[in-house]
Amino acid sequence: MSYQNLILTEEGPFITVTINREKALNALNQQTMSDLAQFFGEDLPHRENVRGVILHGAGDRAFVAGADIKEFTSLTDDDGANMARRGQAVFFLIERSKVPVVAVIQGFALGGGCELAMACHMRIAGEKARFGQPEVNLGIIPGYGGTQRLIQYIGKSKATELMMTGDMLNAEEAYRLGLVNHVVPQGEEMAKAKELLEKIATKGPKAIGKVIESINAYYQYDQDGFAKEVDCFGEVTLSEDFKEGAQAFIEKRPANFTGK
């Protein structure tokens, strides 16, 4: 598949997806959203041997500095709602991916960029990274899931403050509040993400997918997370990976998981 605003780099069982709009600070325009939908919705699900995805922005100034505001100026009420609906659908594809997705954040992750990072399963931040939902400065609100996911990560009180003031968090504050998993020196972000994915890749792929599915169920209003966990547990206990993992444990050797 071909993409206009994404660059895919394959390295063993991992794919690095680069949002390639450096001059625009990787702002999310509709073409970029279409590319992300195509990759996570159509391309990735058919790549059976992929064990992890790294998502980052071109250059070191921004992961994604926000949505492309030029596309907002002529929106009608219906257009705005449809844009938000579509954006949420694209980010759900990332959040619900059975393959772990790690966001590597260098520089700004603001507005839609912060929302995109939060849709990923984990986040690695460089020490100069900055996070925020400053939409109120434009007289609008987050529309790609930010009002929901920011609360999930850092709690209602602080999330409310950030979304009402438009203030930014630095990397250390984001780590302290639980928004990012690790903060590393500038230039070491990709290495840390690869280290994390390499460790995860030694585990059962089917189990990793079911962990993601079960965790997501906790936040879905129409799902019982405990019931989802039971279903997922039942499925993995019937898998070949479980048989291999149990046998490897008994034989005191590394497991050779196949994802089946």
Specify the amino acid at residue 248: A
User: What is the enclosing helix (H) or strand (E) of 157?
Assistant: helix 156-165
Give yes or no: 95 in active site: no
Paired with 55 in beta bridges are 17, 103
Indicate which residue of 48, 71, 135, 235 is catalytic: 135
- The residue among 121, 84, 118 whose CA lies nearest residue 101 is 121
Indicate which residue of 10, 22, 42, 115 is catalytic: 115
Give yes or no: 115 in active site: yes
Q: Which burial class, exposed, middle or buried, applies to 181 when counting CB atoms under 10 A from its CB (0-12, 13-18, 19+)?
A: middle
Rounded distance between C-alpha atoms, residue 193 and residue 212, angstroms = 18
Which DSSP state fits 224?
Answer: -
Active site residues: 115, 135
